[in-house]
Amino acid sequence: MTTDFNAELEARLIRYCKIDSQSDADSPSSPSTAIQLDMQKLLMSELKEIGAQEITLTDYGVVLATIPASEGVTAPTVGLSAHVDTAPQFNAAGVKPVVHRSYNGGDITFADAPELTLSPENAPYLGTKQGHDIITASGTTLLGADDKSGVAIIMTAARQLLANPSLPRPRLRLAFTPDEEIGRGVHPDLPRDLGADFAYTFDGGEVGNIECESFSADGAKVTIEGVSIHPGTAKDTMVNALHLAARIIMGLPHVSMTPDTTEGRDGFIMVTELNGNAATAELTFILRDFELDGLAAKSALLQSVCEAVQLGEPRAHITCEISPQYRNMRYWLEQDMTPVNLAHQAAKAIGLTPRSEPIRGGTDGSRLTELGVPCPNIFTGMQELHGPLEWISVQDMNVATQMCLKLAELAVRP
């Protein structure tokens, strides 16, 4: 039985990363961008080629497939999930993956951006990967290992299982989702359509990390209507919506409540977009906290700042709408730790020391767990996400594939 999947994983990741599949938070469609379907159509073709069953594309853009259980096996149905979209925060068109073979431990430079350097100095985990094959982009785009590494890992494990029917496994349901990066990866119908007793997302970072606690998350839209008039006659009449937007941003704590000033279990408020002009403006925020009362306090703070700016300028009209996104998976997983315990057993069985630390973000597993499918998150090895320094070790992906296969094996044991 093959246990070294490096060549396959490398080829899959490069193939997938070359496909532009960014999601778009401003689009109301599902999936939010048609280009994500380019990835989905490729995966459906590849799933058919390796012999998967029940391959479907849902009307909300998820590819589902089944790997049947080993003969005679009675066990819970286990889901395996990864997302096909890449983050909208940075350019993802024209990705040119570069393999840095047998990494020597020094600085990595980028062909299309000579001013960039990826170094163990600013990425300490990289310093532990000497001898590994490191994949980056060329410097002007993100790589897309988030989460095409997870897609490559699940597809490689699926091919291995289907090529070796004697390998013990439960019924496995695969789900490749769109729009995870904009918080819309889990459609309300997905738990039913997936049909899994529990599941795992492969969307994590360092080898050994098994994530069972995430942020709880809300989004906020602040809309500002000013008073527009020709600037030549604006005295005592104009109300500049952009000035009010700046007041709202500056009215929030900047030393203790932004992503760049927080760590560990601290939450934050982050402005992610400012669009508009002197007449009207719109601010987009994300709010994060590990506890619901902390998240509620951040919502109340943002609303109070908007109210104060409104009171200071009654001629304007300011609204603040808070929308729930996902909740800390811990609230449900702590009631049934079966999938978490199984993941720890699998990690130990392949020689790892598992770690479960809170993730300063969220995954499709956060929402799946909330909707009744317990779903911890498993490492893939991806690092420096959502920007031009993104990288991943092929050998780390290999370990994650071994982890996926071991999870399938242990799931059939009583």
pLDDT in tens, 164-180: 998 889 999 999 999 99
Residue pair 343/201 in contact (Cβ under 8 Å)? The answer is no
Q: Which of 133, 180, 213, 364 is catalytic?
A: 180
Domains, the chain, ranges and CATH? 6-214+328-411 (3.40.630.10), 216-325 (3.30.70.360)
Concerning whether 384 is annotated as a catalytic residue, the answer is no
Please give the structure tokens belonging to residue 213: 């606690």
**Is residue 328 pLDDT above 60, yes or no?**
yes
Q: Enumerate residues 6+ apart whose C-beta is below 8 A from 317.
A: 224, 225, 310
Q: Read off the pLDDT of each residue in 177-202 and give the average, rounded to a whole number.
A: 96
CA angle, 342 then 346 then 350, to 5°: 170
Percentage with pLDDT > 70 across the chain: 99
- Please measure the distance between the N-terminal and C-terminal CA atoms of the chain and give it in whole angstroms: 24
Amino acid letter for position 414: P
Rounded to the nearest integer, the mean pLDDT of the chain is 96
**pTM value?**
0.92
Q: Is 85 a catalytic residue?
A: yes
Measured CA angle at 196 (ends 192, 200), to 5 deg = 120
- Res 100: pLDDT: 98
**316-353 CB burial, b ≥16 within 10 A, e <16:** bebebebeebbbbbbebbeeeeebbebbbebbeeeebe
* Burial class of residue 51 (count of CB atoms within 10 Å of its CB; 0-12, 13-18, 19+): middle
Instruction: Tell me what pLDDT residue 4 has.
Output: 86
3-state SS assignment for residue 409: helix
pLDDT at 1 > cutoff 80: no
- Residue 158: how many CA atoms within 13 Å on its side-chain side? 33
Q: What is the DSSP letter of 58?
A: -
Closest alpha carbon to 65 in 170, 175, 212, 146: 175
Using CA atoms, how far residue 210 sits from 137, 214, 386, 401, in Å, is 26, 11, 21, 14
pLDDT (tens digit per residue) in 8-38: 999 999 999 999 999 998 899 999 999 999 9
Structure confidence at residue 72 (pLDDT): 86
| E strand intervals along 72-197 | 78-83, 98-100, 108-109, 117-118, 134-136, 172-177
Question: pLDDT at residue 414 above 80?
Answer: no
Of the candidates 85, 146, 147, 390, the residue annotated as catalytic is 85
| Mean pLDDT value of segment 116-123 | 96
The per-residue pLDDT for range 246-303, each reduced to its tens digit, is 999 999 998 889 999 999 999 999 999 999 999 999 999 999 999 999 999 999 999 9
For 50-94, how does the pLDDT look when each residue is reduced to its tens digit (9 = 90+)?
999 999 999 999 999 999 999 888 899 999 999 999 999 899 999
Element (H, E) at 317: strand 317-326
Which uninterrupted H or E stretch holds 211? Answer: strand 210-211
For residue 358, which of 218, 205, 176, 202 has the smallest C-alpha distance? 205
Q: Nearest Cα to 408, choosing from 52, 114, 105, 68?
A: 68
> How far apart are alpha carbons 12 and 35 in whole angstroms?
18
